[in-house]
Amino acid sequence: MEILVARQVPEVQNAFERLRRSAAIGCDTETSGLDPDRGKLYSIQFSDGELGVLIPLSEGVAMGPFSELLADEAIVKIFHNARFDIEFLGAAGVSVRNVFDTMIAEKVLTRGAGQSASLAETLYRHFGIDLDKSLRAKFTRNWNGVWTDELVDYALSDVFHLPRLMAAQSDWLARLGLTDEFTAQQERLGARSRRLTSDGTPDGPL
């Protein structure tokens, strides 16, 4: 995977121009906690499965045109547990549309099987990938906000696999006749996200 930490305006613009041509893009955020009203948004990551881009918001870098990409109806944005990321992005004034939530897809696929739908467990089941989540503990309110190579690799390891995971899940949903159920679950996520607009976040996140 090609990795880019986009710190300068030309880097952000170049990454945007490359990724905007994709039909679907994996997305993820790193935050200081679980509450979007009190937590900080440290970064947002994108990947088409080949290029991985991290926007280090904690270093004062602006999201720039990537806010347009997130709102673009023509591009599928793939999240694992989309509600969490959408709430943090909404609190930052960013709208997200056309979402595929791999956590919802996995819950539909494994319902009744007693299996975890965490990203680490999901990737291991589908691809045998052993995802190390231990570095997540570094993202606290006391973190200095500087992105080391180790933290960049950690943050992008999640998002890099999302396009392939969406393809695999979509195939299984179709094979098992569960596509309509997944769509219904996604619509409920959309309804929940739109209710957030009463608190001042952008209209129509999905």
Give the pLDDT of the chain (206 residues) as one tens digit per residue.
899 999 999 999 999 999 999 999 999 999 998 899 888 999 999 999 999 999 999 999 999 999 999 999 999 999 999 999 999 999 999 999 999 999 999 999 999 788 999 999 999 999 999 988 888 888 877 889 999 999 999 999 989 999 999 999 999 999 999 999 999 998 887 655 544 433 434 444 45
pLDDT at site 52: 97
Going from the C-alpha of 127 to that of each of 58, 105, 131, 139, 147, the distances in angstroms are 32, 16, 11, 27, 28
pLDDT at 204: 43
Q: Give CA–CA dist 39/129, Å, rounded.
A: 30
Between helix 82-91 and helix 179-195 the angle, nearest 10°, is 20
pTM of the predicted model over 0.95:
no
Considering the segment(s) 2-199 as one domain, its CATH architecture is: 2-Layer Sandwich (3.30)
- CB-CB contact of 59 with 7 (8 Å): yes
Q: Where along the chain do its domains lie?
A: 2-199
Q: CB of 106 within 8 A of CB of 84?
A: no
Burial of residue 86, with CB atoms counted within 10 A of its CB: 0-12 exposed, 13-18 middle, 19 or more buried: buried
Closest C-alpha among 78, 103, 77, 81 to residue 34 = 81
What is the C-alpha to C-alpha distance for residues 80 and 122, in angstroms, rounded to an integer?
A: 10
pLDDT at 190: 67
Q: Give the model's pLDDT for residue 138.
A: 84
